[in-house]
Chain A
Amino acid sequence: MAEEVKAVSEEDAVISLQGVGKRFGERWAVSDFDLRIPRGVTYGLLGPNGAGKTTSLRMIYGLTEPTSGSLRVFGKEVRENVRAVRARLGVTLQENVLIENLDPRENLAVFGRFHLLRGKALRDRIEFMIDFLELRSHADVPVRALSGGYKRRLAIAMSLMNDPELVILDEPTTGLDPAVRLALWERVRELRARGKTVVLTTHYMDEAERLCDRVAIMSEGKCVMEGVPSELITTHLARETIEFDCSVKEEGEFLRPLEDPRARVRVGRRLMLYADDTGVYMDRLHQREGADCRPFIVRPTNLEDLFLSVTGTSLKEVE
């Protein structure tokens, strides 16, 4: 991991955190966080609720001051350059902040003025964002009458009004239907294609796996794993997963004659075995249970498996 981090030089890094910590009272929400995010990548900050993701983001855009460590964005110390740094980034907060009585166009205008846009530049940018997030059919409807999907798109459009180089999305798709999620993923890919750096947090591991070039998994304020999702999965778990229900007693009996899997995770009765070739476990099940074989699933290992094996508390990982 250390080598991976070094590979991104200081100049290329849009965001660079060194030993960053934040304490609230007695509790360290984030501690000893090292992070380098290179220009142009889409980066996922993952972790269970309370892991310190939002606090990390707030420090990055200069709202919360770190208790310790050094934090640079666009190569600038955030604390001393808050206005300059924020002028070049855009943030979509976890909860939409919209003016309910105004329509999307007016909301965009208000937000554009926060960046001192005016006149034709403001009007052009509003129309551009309305097209970019496909809001045109609802551009003149008061926000309070919009569906959750439209509101979220508007919130994202607002955070892009200043054409930011760095886009921060805090749980962009939480609570949205699959069609809207897919549409928003497309927008994120589009931003990436335009050379923007995107940092997002999410609880959906499929989202992180599909969108993110790199991810950091946080747990209890610390970064516990960092890297390219597919590489992390094969390094820390294995390519394939076989999962089925069985008791702890059966598990021991089942695995005794076999080589240990690379890792295993248990959630209640559900057992997941990770191996580069799950064939041996399939054969063993068939051999033991014949025609009455219990149902099982063989699938590619995904980021969710890794996430659970790293952050889960009631789960067991084979060393």
Chain B
Amino acid sequence: MRLSLPYAMSVWRRNAAMYKRSWKLNLLPNFFEPVFYLTSIGVGVGAYISEMAGMSYAEFLAPGLVCVAAMNGASFEVTYNVFVRMEFEKSYDAMLTTPIEPIDILVGELLWAMSRACIYGLCFFVVVSLFGLAAFPGALLALLAIPLTGFLFGAIGLAFTMLIRNIDLYSFYFTLFLTPLFLFSGVFFPLEERLSGLALLVAEVLPLLHPVRFARSCFLGNFDFIMLWDLFYCVALASLLLWWAQKRIRIRLSE
């Protein structure tokens, strides 16, 4: 069955209607988080670091943290929230009594995850800009990294959700997958200065590395061909996982 965008958007609207109820409460913490990160690690730890990869530590940190915010924003939606809607609230069972098809649900949820990623990521971006850490106009292109990260981690999380049967497995997803990515994807230190040769090539599999590198290049105004590889990686991996997830959600929802 082919995707129908209007139906996918009606799924998106369902989540948006719920978010609308509490957006004021939801939005505010998004601003505090980056302020705390930047003052603690950027300014606090940064005081002991004269420079990193040729810039101040706060400058180094800023683009990566924007991507991490987008990653987290998307991840919570497509993990716990989608699982609860699918298995406990049976929301999808009700949707499937209407002309909505499983693929519309998958895409609607993905678009919603990207929206959440944009809300988180943009809040972070605004704070980073207020700290004077974004060099315009180059940094504007970095805005593209926000939905891109949402797309990538929305797809990864959806594929994982379609795979598992037990909600407790998400603790593995967060502690053994997202946390290491957060720590080792070039957000806190330049991977290319710590690793060499084969190890550096292997590190290219880390999904978060690509949006982070893309965003940092934009922030620095350092446009390079490797950014095309980063874009390609994100779109290709996400598409592959979504293709698998749409087959899987069809089976799962007809059980």
Contacts and interface: CB of A to CB of B under 8 A. Distances in A.
B21 A101 contact: yes
Contact of A114 (B22, B100, B253, B254): B100
Contacts of A102: 17-18, 21
A201 interface: no
Interface string A73-94: 0000000001110110111010
Contacts of A61: 97
A218 interface: no
Contacts of A162: 98
A309 interface: no
A301 interface: no
Interface residues of B, number: 26
Interface in A144-189: 158-159, 162, 168
Interface stretch (B6-14, B110-118, B158-166, B195-203): B6-14
Which among B22, B253, B254 has the highest number of chain A CB atoms within 10 Å? B254
B18 A101 contact: yes
Contact of B97 (A93, A95, A113, A116): A93
A115 B94 contact: no
A65 interface: yes
A110 B99 contact: no
Which among A82, A91, A95, A97 has the highest number of chain B CB atoms within 10 Å? A97
B99 A109 contact: no
B96 interface: yes
Contacts of B97: 61, 63, 86, 89-91, 93, 159, 168
Contacts of A255: none
Contacts of B13: 110, 113
Interface string A100-121: 0110001001110111100000
B93 interface: yes
Contact of B95 (A90, A114, A116): A114
A9 interface: no
Given A97-B89, A116-B10, A64 B101 contact: no
Contacts of B179: none
A96 to B, nearest CB: 9
Contact of B94 (A84, A89, A93, A106): A93
A124 to B, nearest CB: 18
A114 B91 CA distance: 12
A282 interface: no
A101 B14 CA distance: 12
A162 to B, nearest CB: 7
Contacts of B247: none
A228 interface: no
A99 interface: yes
Contacts of A113: 10, 13-14
Main SS of chain A's interface residues? Answer: mixed
Contacts of B10: 113-114, 116
Nearest to B10: A113
Contacts of A95: 90
Contacts of B96: 63
B130 interface: no
Interface string B227-254: 0000000000000000000000000011
Contacts of B17: 99, 102, 106, 109-110
Given A102-B17, A114-B100, A159-B97, A97 B254 contact: no
Nearest to B21: A101
Nearest to A63: B96
B1 interface: yes
A83 B99 contact: yes
B98 A114 contact: yes
A64 B89 CA distance: 19
A110 B12 CA distance: 10
Contacts of A97: 89-91, 93-94
A51 to B, nearest CB: 19
Interface in B19-78: 21-22
Contacts of A65: 254
Which among B1, B11, B14 has the highest number of chain A CB atoms within 10 Å? B14
A101 B22 CA distance: 10
Contacts of B89: 97
A125 B95 CA distance: 18
Contact of B99 (A63, A86, A111): A86
B21 A63 contact: no
A214 B95 CA distance: 29
Contacts of A93: 90, 93-94, 97
15 contacts: A64-B254, A83-B1, A83-B4, A83-B99, A87-B99, A93-B94, A95-B90, A99-B14, A101-B22, A109-B17, A110-B14, A114-B7, A114-B14, A115-B99, A162-B98
The 9 closest A-B pairs by CB, nearest first: A91-B97, A97-B94, A83-B99, A114-B98, A113-B10, A86-B99, A87-B99, A110-B14, A114-B10
Given A83-B4, A115-B98, 18 more contacts: A63-B253, A82-B101, A83-B1, A86-B99, A87-B99, A89-B97, A90-B97, A93-B90, A93-B97, A97-B90, A101-B21, A109-B17, A110-B14, A111-B98, A114-B95, A114-B99, A116-B6, A116-B99
